[in-house]
Chains A and B, each alone.
Chain A
Amino acid sequence: MAAVIAKGDSSMIEGGCLCGTVRFCITGKLGPAGYCHCKQCQRASGSAFAANAPARTIYFKFLSGGDVVTEYESSQGKFRAFCSRCGSPVYSRRDSEPDIRRIRLGTLDSDPERRPLAHVWANSKAPWYSIMDALPQYSEGLPTDIVSALQTERRS
C-alpha cells in the first residue's frame, strides 16, 4: 500500500462554506484523503459519500465565521461541524483524536494536492451509486495496518 502513505505538501490551503461566512486556512500538510460511504456521511452531505482528509488541529485556523459553526455529535465523542447559515459541512473531529480535524474536501478553494486513495465503509454505500474507479475498497473502516502506517506518517 505504498500509495496510501504518499505525502502531500501544500503549504497553505484555504476553504470556506457556501455562504462565505465560515473561512478557514490550513497550514502544513493535509493528510491522506479518502471517500467515506457510511450512511452518516451520506446523510450529512446529502451526496453519495463524503471526501475527507485530516489536518492537524494546530494548523487549522478560522479566518472568519468560527462563531457560526455548529457541531453536531453524530456518535459519542464524534462531532460534525457545519455552517449554521448555509449548512455546508466543514470538518469532523473526535474527542479521542483532539489533534485531528477531518476536513471536507468539497469546501476547499484550491487543489489540496491530495487525491483520495481509498473508499471506506463500501458495504454501506448507496444502492444508487456504483464505485467505478480502481481505488481500494474497504467494507468498513481502514484496516489497522494501514491506520498504523498513516499514523506514522502524521508523526513524520
Chain B
Amino acid sequence: MGVKGSCLCGGIRYEVDGAFGRVVHCHCSMCRKATGAPFRTRAAVPTAALRWLAGEDLVSRYESSPGETRTFCRICGSTLATFLRNRPDEIGLPLGTLDDDPGVRPSAHVWVASKAPWCEITDALPRFAEGITTTSDSQLSNPPLQPTAASPMLGRRG
C-alpha cells in the first residue's frame, strides 16, 4: 500500500510505493522561491517508486539549474517532484502534497547559510551551511537512499 499525494486542485494524483529516504528542510534561495515558504521539506524517493495516478499531462516542468527539473501543477501551481539528470534513479519529493503520513521525519536543515533572515530555526536538528557531505552523512538519523553511491552533496539543492 503506497503513500498517496495530490495537488491542490486535485488534477494531479500520485502514489509512492516503497520506502522514503532521507527528509531534509532545504533553505536554499531556489527552494524558497519555488515554495514561497522559508524552506522546502523534501524526501529522497526512488524514481521508480513514483507513479502518477492522474493528471500527468498537467505536470509542468521548469529546469531551475542545468539538469535539475522542478515540476508543478499547471492548473493550481502546487509544487511537485524535482528530477535530477545526474541522479536519474532518485527524485526530491516535497512532502506538502502528500495525502498520507509518509512515516519518515525530517533529519536536518540544509543550505542554512542561505536561509531567509525572517526564519529562525528553533528545533534541534543538525544544520548544514550547504548540503550534507559524505563525512557528516553517517551522523544523521534516517539514511540516504543509496549510501554506497553517495554523491559529495547528498543534501544538494532540490
Interface of A toward B, CB cutoff 8 Å = 16-19, 33, 40, 42-51, 70, 72, 74, 80, 82-90, 104-108, 111-112, 114-116, 126-130, 132-134
What residues of chain B lie closer than 8 Å to A133, measured between beta carbons?
120, 122
How many A-B pairs fall under 8 Å by CB? 162
Supplied contacts A47-B95, A82-B72, A84-B60, 15 more A-B pairs, CB within 8 Å:
A44-B79, A46-B40, A46-B42, A46-B80, A47-B39, A47-B41, A48-B25, A48-B41, A51-B37, A74-B8, A85-B62, A88-B77, A104-B36, A107-B32, A128-B41
Contact status A86-B62, CB under 8 Å = yes
What residues of chain A lie closer than 8 Å to B34, measured between beta carbons?
18, 46, 86-88, 106
Contact status B38-A72, CB under 8 Å = no
Contact status A40-B36, CB under 8 Å = no
With a 10 A CB-CB cut-off, give which of B33, B34, B64, B95 has the most chain A CB atoms: B33
B81 CB, nearest partner CB in chain A, Å:
9
- Determine which of A45, A51, A112 lies in contact with B79 in the assembled complex, contact meaning CB atoms within 8 Å: A45
Total interface residues on B, using CB and 8 Å?
Answer: 50
B66 CB, nearest partner CB in chain A, Å:
14
Give bound CA distance, A130 to B6, whole Å.
22
Query: Which residue on A lies nearest to B80, using beta carbons?
Result: A46
What residues of chain A lie closer than 8 Å to B23, measured between beta carbons?
128
What residues of chain A lie closer than 8 Å to B96, measured between beta carbons?
42-48, 126
29 A-B pairs with CB atoms under 8 Å apart are A18-B30, A40-B8, A43-B7, A43-B96, A44-B8, A44-B79, A44-B96, A47-B79, A50-B36, A50-B37, A51-B38, A84-B74, A86-B34, A86-B64, A87-B62, A87-B71, A87-B78, A87-B79, A88-B35, A89-B77, A105-B36, A106-B35, A106-B38, A111-B117, A127-B101, A128-B104, A128-B106, A129-B106, A130-B123
B153 lies within 8 A of chain A by Cβ: no
Give bound CA distance, A106 to B26, whole Å.
12
B140 lies within 8 A of chain A by Cβ: no
What residues of chain B lie closer than 8 Å to A128, measured between beta carbons?
23, 41, 95, 101-102, 104-106
With contacts A19-B62, A80-B8, A105-B116 taken as known, whether A44 is within 8 angstroms of B76 at the C-beta atoms is: yes
Give bound CA distance, A60 to B34, whole Å.
20
B97 lies within 8 A of chain A by Cβ: yes
Mark B27-66 against chain A: 1 for CB-CB distance below 8 A, else 0. 0001011111111111000000000000000001010100
A52 CB, nearest partner CB in chain B, Å:
8
What residues of chain B lie closer than 8 Å to A116, measured between beta carbons?
118
Give bound CA distance, A69 to B74, whole Å.
11
Contact status A115-B94, CB under 8 Å = no
